[in-house]
Amino acid sequence: MDTHHEPSAGALPAARALLSITQDRHRDMTNLVRGLPGQGLRWVPADGTSTLAGLTLHILDVERYLTALVTGEDIGWTGELGTRIHETAAEHELVAAIEARDEELREAIARLDADRWSSLAGDLLEDLDHVAVHLGQMQLTRNLYEAAHPEAAGAYEHWR
Protein backbone atom coordinates (compact mmCIF):
# COMPACT_ATOMS: atom_id res chain seq x y z
CA MET A 1 0.00 0.00 0.00
CA ASP A 2 1.93 2.95 -1.30
CA THR A 3 -0.84 5.50 -1.58
CA HIS A 4 -1.13 8.30 0.94
CA HIS A 5 -4.33 10.30 0.61
CA GLU A 6 -4.57 13.82 1.90
CA PRO A 7 -7.91 14.81 3.42
CA SER A 8 -9.69 17.79 1.97
CA ALA A 9 -8.51 21.21 3.09
CA GLY A 10 -11.77 21.67 4.96
CA ALA A 11 -11.40 18.47 6.98
CA LEU A 12 -11.21 18.84 10.74
CA PRO A 13 -7.67 18.75 12.17
CA ALA A 14 -8.74 15.74 14.24
CA ALA A 15 -9.97 14.00 11.09
CA ARG A 16 -6.66 14.69 9.37
CA ALA A 17 -4.81 13.21 12.35
CA LEU A 18 -7.06 10.12 12.38
CA LEU A 19 -6.47 9.62 8.67
CA SER A 20 -2.71 9.92 9.08
CA ILE A 21 -2.67 7.45 11.97
CA THR A 22 -4.83 4.88 10.21
CA GLN A 23 -2.87 5.11 6.97
CA ASP A 24 0.43 4.64 8.82
CA ARG A 25 -1.04 1.63 10.63
CA HIS A 26 -2.35 0.14 7.39
CA ARG A 27 1.05 0.50 5.72
CA ASP A 28 2.67 -1.23 8.68
CA MET A 29 0.04 -3.98 8.70
CA THR A 30 0.65 -4.59 5.01
CA ASN A 31 4.39 -4.85 5.61
CA LEU A 32 3.77 -7.23 8.51
CA VAL A 33 1.83 -9.76 6.44
CA ARG A 34 3.92 -9.52 3.25
CA GLY A 35 6.64 -11.98 2.43
CA LEU A 36 5.60 -14.78 4.76
CA PRO A 37 4.55 -18.26 3.74
CA GLY A 38 1.00 -19.23 4.65
CA GLN A 39 2.28 -21.03 7.73
CA GLY A 40 3.80 -17.73 8.90
CA LEU A 41 0.42 -16.04 8.77
CA ARG A 42 -1.08 -18.90 10.82
CA TRP A 43 1.84 -19.30 13.27
CA VAL A 44 1.37 -18.64 16.98
CA PRO A 45 4.27 -17.96 19.33
CA ALA A 46 2.56 -19.79 22.22
CA ASP A 47 -0.69 -21.52 23.07
CA GLY A 48 -3.52 -19.06 23.49
CA THR A 49 -1.91 -16.36 21.34
CA SER A 50 -3.11 -15.02 18.00
CA THR A 51 -1.86 -15.35 14.45
CA LEU A 52 -0.88 -12.47 12.16
CA ALA A 53 -3.85 -13.28 9.93
CA GLY A 54 -6.29 -13.34 12.85
CA LEU A 55 -4.96 -10.12 14.33
CA THR A 56 -5.21 -8.42 10.93
CA LEU A 57 -8.79 -9.56 10.42
CA HIS A 58 -9.72 -8.51 13.95
CA ILE A 59 -8.24 -5.02 13.49
CA LEU A 60 -10.10 -4.65 10.20
CA ASP A 61 -13.33 -5.73 11.87
CA VAL A 62 -12.90 -3.10 14.60
CA GLU A 63 -12.19 -0.53 11.90
CA ARG A 64 -15.34 -1.63 10.05
CA TYR A 65 -17.21 -0.74 13.22
CA LEU A 66 -15.41 2.62 13.40
CA THR A 67 -16.38 3.34 9.80
CA ALA A 68 -19.99 2.53 10.63
CA LEU A 69 -19.87 4.82 13.68
CA VAL A 70 -18.60 7.70 11.58
CA THR A 71 -21.17 7.20 8.81
CA GLY A 72 -24.05 6.49 11.19
CA GLU A 73 -24.63 3.02 9.77
CA ASP A 74 -26.03 0.42 12.15
CA ILE A 75 -24.11 -2.77 11.41
CA GLY A 76 -25.38 -4.61 14.45
CA TRP A 77 -21.91 -5.00 15.89
CA THR A 78 -22.08 -5.85 19.56
CA GLY A 79 -18.39 -5.47 20.28
CA GLU A 80 -17.91 -9.14 21.05
CA LEU A 81 -14.43 -9.97 22.19
CA GLY A 82 -11.95 -11.24 19.64
CA THR A 83 -14.04 -11.02 16.49
CA ARG A 84 -12.33 -12.85 13.62
CA ILE A 85 -9.23 -13.46 15.75
CA HIS A 86 -9.21 -17.20 14.92
CA GLU A 87 -9.77 -16.80 11.18
CA THR A 88 -7.06 -17.01 8.58
CA ALA A 89 -6.45 -15.73 5.08
CA ALA A 90 -3.72 -15.68 2.45
CA GLU A 91 -1.34 -12.75 2.06
CA HIS A 92 -3.09 -11.38 -1.04
CA GLU A 93 -6.47 -11.54 0.71
CA LEU A 94 -5.14 -9.71 3.76
CA VAL A 95 -3.45 -7.00 1.70
CA ALA A 96 -6.61 -6.49 -0.38
CA ALA A 97 -8.72 -6.29 2.79
CA ILE A 98 -6.33 -3.74 4.35
CA GLU A 99 -6.44 -1.61 1.20
CA ALA A 100 -10.23 -1.78 1.02
CA ARG A 101 -10.66 -0.83 4.69
CA ASP A 102 -8.17 2.01 4.26
CA GLU A 103 -10.24 3.45 1.42
CA GLU A 104 -13.55 3.01 3.28
CA LEU A 105 -12.21 4.59 6.45
CA ARG A 106 -10.59 7.42 4.50
CA GLU A 107 -13.88 8.25 2.78
CA ALA A 108 -15.80 8.11 6.06
CA ILE A 109 -13.30 10.28 7.96
CA ALA A 110 -13.30 12.84 5.14
CA ARG A 111 -17.03 13.38 5.80
CA LEU A 112 -16.63 13.75 9.57
CA ASP A 113 -17.99 17.12 10.68
CA ALA A 114 -17.50 18.93 14.00
CA ASP A 115 -20.84 17.85 15.47
CA ARG A 116 -20.30 14.20 14.60
CA TRP A 117 -16.71 14.37 15.91
CA SER A 118 -17.94 15.82 19.22
CA SER A 119 -20.33 12.93 19.72
CA LEU A 120 -17.90 10.19 18.63
CA ALA A 121 -14.43 11.31 19.68
CA GLY A 122 -14.26 9.18 22.83
CA ASP A 123 -15.45 6.00 21.10
CA LEU A 124 -13.18 6.52 18.11
CA LEU A 125 -10.10 7.16 20.23
CA GLU A 126 -10.85 4.23 22.53
CA ASP A 127 -11.16 1.84 19.61
CA LEU A 128 -8.08 3.23 17.88
CA ASP A 129 -6.16 2.63 21.11
CA HIS A 130 -7.48 -0.94 21.13
CA VAL A 131 -6.29 -1.38 17.54
CA ALA A 132 -2.85 0.03 18.44
CA VAL A 133 -2.42 -2.71 21.04
CA HIS A 134 -3.15 -5.33 18.39
CA LEU A 135 -0.74 -3.72 15.95
CA GLY A 136 1.93 -4.14 18.63
CA GLN A 137 0.94 -7.79 18.95
CA MET A 138 1.31 -8.15 15.18
CA GLN A 139 4.78 -6.61 15.29
CA LEU A 140 5.87 -8.88 18.12
CA THR A 141 4.37 -11.97 16.46
CA ARG A 142 6.20 -11.20 13.21
CA ASN A 143 9.49 -10.65 15.05
CA LEU A 144 9.05 -13.87 17.02
CA TYR A 145 8.19 -15.78 13.84
CA GLU A 146 11.35 -14.52 12.16
CA ALA A 147 13.40 -15.45 15.24
CA ALA A 148 11.92 -18.97 15.24
CA HIS A 149 12.28 -19.31 11.46
CA PRO A 150 15.62 -17.78 10.44
CA GLU A 151 14.96 -18.59 6.79
CA ALA A 152 12.15 -15.98 6.86
CA ALA A 153 14.07 -13.34 8.81
CA GLY A 154 14.78 -9.83 7.70
CA ALA A 155 11.80 -9.00 5.52
CA TYR A 156 9.95 -6.75 8.00
CA GLU A 157 11.17 -3.44 9.34
CA HIS A 158 8.94 -1.11 11.28
CA TRP A 159 8.51 2.43 9.84
CA ARG A 160 9.60 1.38 6.39
For 85-112, write each residue's pLDDT tens digit: 888 999 999 999 999 999 999 899 888 8
Q: Indicate whether 157 belongs to any domain.
A: no
**Domain enclosing residue 31, as ranges:** 13-152
Q: Give the pLDDT confidence score for residue 1 in this predicted structure.
A: 53
For 112-152, write each residue's pLDDT tens digit: 888 888 888 888 888 889 999 999 999 999 999 998 998 87
For 6-40, write each residue's pLDDT tens digit: 544 456 788 888 888 899 999 999 999 999 888 99
CATH of the domain at 126: 1.20.120.450
Q: Indicate whether 8 belongs to any domain.
A: no
C-alpha distances (whole Å) from 43 to each of 38, 53, 55, 80, 138 are 9, 9, 11, 24, 11
Q: Indicate whether 7 belongs to any domain.
A: no
Q: Indicate whether 160 belongs to any domain.
A: no
Q: Indicate whether 6 belongs to any domain.
A: no
Q: Indicate whether 134 belongs to any domain.
A: yes
CA atoms of 88 and 54, how far apart (whole Å): 6
Query: Higher pLDDT residue, 116 or 51?
Result: 51
Q: Give the pLDDT confidence score for residue 110 in this predicted structure.
A: 83
Q: Indicate whether 126 belongs to any domain.
A: yes
pTM over 0.85: yes
Q: Indicate whether 60 belongs to any domain.
A: yes
C-alpha distances (whole Å) from 19 to each of 105, 115, 125, 146, 155 are 8, 18, 12, 30, 26
Rg (CA), the chain: 16
Q: Give the pLDDT confidence score for residue 111 in this predicted structure.
A: 82
User: How many domains are contained in the chain?
Assistant: 1
